[in-house]
Amino acid sequence: MASLYRQEIQTLKGVGKRRAELFRKLGAPSVGALLRLYPRTYEDFSHPFSIRSAPLETDCAVRAVVEQAPREIRIHGGMVLYKALADDGESTLKLTFFNNRYVKNLLRQGEEYLFYGKITAHFLKREMASPEFYPSAVCPSILPIYRQTSGLSSRMIGNAVRETLKLLPSQMSDPLSPTLRKEHSLCKLDFALKNIHFPTDSESLKAARERLIFEELLVLQLGLLEMGGRTRTKSPFPLQNDDTEEFYRLLPFCPTEAQRRAIQEAMTDMRGGFPMNRLIQGDVGSGKTAVAAALCYSAIKNGMQAALMAPTEILARQHAQTLSALLSSAGIRVGLLTGSLPLAEKRKLHDALANGEIDLLIGTHALISSGVTFYRLGLVITDEQHRFGVEQRAALAAKGNRPHMLVMSATPIPRTLALMIYGDLDLSILDELPPGRQEIKTYAVTPNYRPRIFEFIRKHVKKGQQCYIICPMIDESDNDMASVQTYTKRLQEKWLPDCRISALHGRMKAKEKESIMNQFASGEIDVLVSTTVVEVGVDVPNATVMLIENAERYGLSQLHQLRGRIGRGKDASTCILISASKNQQTLARLKVLCSTSDGFRIADEDLKLRGPGDFFGNRQHGLPTLKIADMMTDMEVLKKAQTTAQAIFRMDSSLSMPEHRGLRAEVHQLFQDWTY
Ligand code: ADP
Ligand code: MG
């Protein structure tokens, strides 16, 4: 395979200079790369329909005889139309082609073809525009469709691939050794390449895909391991003792099985010889904070310092409160560092930290500012990691000497994507909520319901419960988006004059925000009108109603995060999404939220509907582009690939053993123009 990457595309039969340029543009400068230019999709000719029984507006194949060969029709603007008529003895089908003079020679009267495309019906007349077609005698059963570019059609690419496949040696080397293939029941490379391009049947296509996806993910994971190089550097801080059981006695509740498992997995990492590098994914409310606390506890009891970084000041403060309440009885000294800390206090904190008088430092990204020096930083935790860039995670780690690292994230990263992005991390999943949680009832309604909703809120406030109202804007603006300021005023004056109402938004001073959050937490405020600053992590179990205005403005995962602020206590909770949107897709999106509380499913839906761009702006994860394994691929394969990569790496980190050389070539191929 490696030698095919050195063979230029131009050496192929039928590929001249000009066409070679087009192939390069598509990402296939060499014969080897062309083989890895997998079809975008397939046209299935294996089960053709009769014209009458074919589904409408759906891609499908029909078998019919050409009754009238294509006629040329010139229309204005220089367009040329070709119209033909086909018949299958039962009904007729009109065929239309645009600007494609080749069809004149390709479609012959009286011959039978398979046509592939979407059928539309105008009264009783059925029509197919620009179908793909093959004489039925020579029609492949499944036809590859390639991403094309102007001047290079899918058919031409297919022909070039066919030529390339002929060049494959009969004994082809395979990056996956026979042992690996056997272990994971995967087909050989030459079978996979032939069948991914020209499948003999759907089974073979499936086998080919499975193998190529596994291979690609394995290569990706190996590359990430190589970058990380973590398996090679020993940890300066292996944990001697596991003090988890002691920690559990401090907790006001019993840890869930999932929490125990995650803590155990992390402890095993930290007690091994290498720095921990672990991602914990757990839906909102699954209790990640307790996991973080457990690890801090053991790390600190083993003589290290720990740091916990949170994306917002509100969240950092709340963590500091929770954790110092929990840990100070065990003699652990907790410090809080945020950007708004007065200079004198900051200095004091810096000194105490450098002298080892603080055991656990919690804060915002102020933690990575230059004045911060640790005495013996051994454990670094980032909460809600998707808010931080890769560099920030690295910068915090650089405050210590290869400290153990834990990254905690709620849903918005679908697991598959997380594994790709944090491919060098091990994964623990908190797939269980603490007991007694009730499902949050969620409704999507139009603004007409507001009066009823305010009544509903009033009823809950009278029972002593609290409510969040989320608005997209801070100030009134000329669009009709709800704003925190105006909304608060109306509630106070008109809608809920008998409730205690306050506003909260990102433009307020940190002290002000803190005091409002504290008042809300202690029940002095009934209704908190806020922007999405409450989105991450905030924990007020007595809040049971959330009303989200202009719900169409948010991604599903973000709504799910927001909704996660309620349903944290023993009382039933309700989330109401208000939207005036009439857009069908928007309404369908909001429905997803009403029908499930599974954050992973929601994140996947979100990804399907809005694409990965919403999770990570312009590829800031900076991974190489994958050719076949996509974001939606089953995480099982990814996990398998990851474990396999780790095993290979432990045995042969330079991939120099004969059975790994093929893999090494593929790693270099995938990562050739990749910068971290
Ligand atoms: P998240 O995973 O969203 O960060 P938190 O750590 O904020 O979740 O926990 C949510 C709430 O659940 C907190 O009030 C916390 O005290 C509580 N909690 C966590 N673990 C348990 C448990 N095992 N049993 C009961 N309550 C728990
Ligand atoms: Mg949290």
Ligand nearest to the CA of 564: 1
Q: How far apart are CA 461 and CA 190, in angstroms?
A: 68
User: Which pLDDT score, from 0 to 100, does residue 577 have?
Assistant: 97
CATH number of the 2-41+145-194 domain: 1.10.150
CA angle 447-449-453, nearest 5°? 115
Cα(290) to ligand 1 centroid in Å equals: 7
| Residues of each domain in the chain carrying CATH 1.10.150 | 2-41+145-194
User: Which pLDDT score, from 0 to 100, does residue 215 have?
Assistant: 95
Give me the CATH topology for the region 244-430.
Rossmann fold (3.40.50)
Residue identifier of the C-alpha nearest atom 17 of ligand 1: 287
3-state secondary structure 485-549: HHHHHHHHHHHCCCCCEEEECCCCCHHHHHHHHHHHHCCCCCEEEECHHHCCCCCCCCEEEEEEC
User: What number does the ligand 1 atom closest to the CA of 430 have?
Assistant: 2
Cα(283) to ligand 2 centroid in Å equals: 9
Does the predicted TM-score (pTM) go above 0.85?
no
| Residues of each domain in the chain carrying CATH 2.40.50.140 | 46-139
Residue identifier of the C-alpha nearest atom 24 of ligand 1: 434
Residue identifier of the C-alpha nearest atom 9 of ligand 1: 287
CATH class of 46-139: mainly beta
Task: Name residue, tokens 């020579």.
Answer: 138
Ligand nearest to the CA of 539: 1
User: What number does the ligand 1 atom closest to the CA of 322 have?
Assistant: 16
Ligand nearest to the CA of 322: 1
Cα(112) to ligand 1 centroid in Å equals: 67
User: Which pLDDT score, from 0 to 100, does residue 484 have?
Assistant: 95
The CATH number of 440-596 is which of 3.40.50.880, 2.40.160.20, 3.40.50.300, 3.90.1150.10? 3.40.50.300
- Ligand 1: residues with CB < 6 A are 253-256, 259, 282, 284-290, 410, 434, 537, 539, 541, 568
Cα(261) to ligand 2 centroid in Å equals: 18
Dihedral sign from CA coordinates of 594, 599, 604, 607:
positive
Q: Which of 249, 251, 289 to mutate to test the pocket of ligand 1 (most atoms within 8 A of CB)?
A: 289
Q: How far apart are CA 54 and CA 589, in angstroms?
A: 31
Cα(129) to ligand 2 centroid in Å equals: 53
Mean pLDDT by 10 residues, the chain (676 residues): 83 89 91 92 90 90 95 87 95 92 90 94 88 86 88 90 89 91 96 95 94 93 71 76 95 96 96 88 88 97 95 88 95 94 94 96 92 94 70 78 87 57 74 84 96 97 96 84 94 96 91 88 95 76 95 87 87 95 87 87 73 42 66 68 90 91 88 50
| Residues of each domain in the chain carrying CATH 3.40.50.300 | 244-430, 440-596
Residue identifier of the C-alpha nearest atom 4 of ligand 1: 288
User: What number does the ligand 1 atom closest to the CA of 383 have?
Assistant: 4
Ligand nearest to the CA of 384: 2
Residue identifier of the C-alpha nearest atom 27 of ligand 1: 434
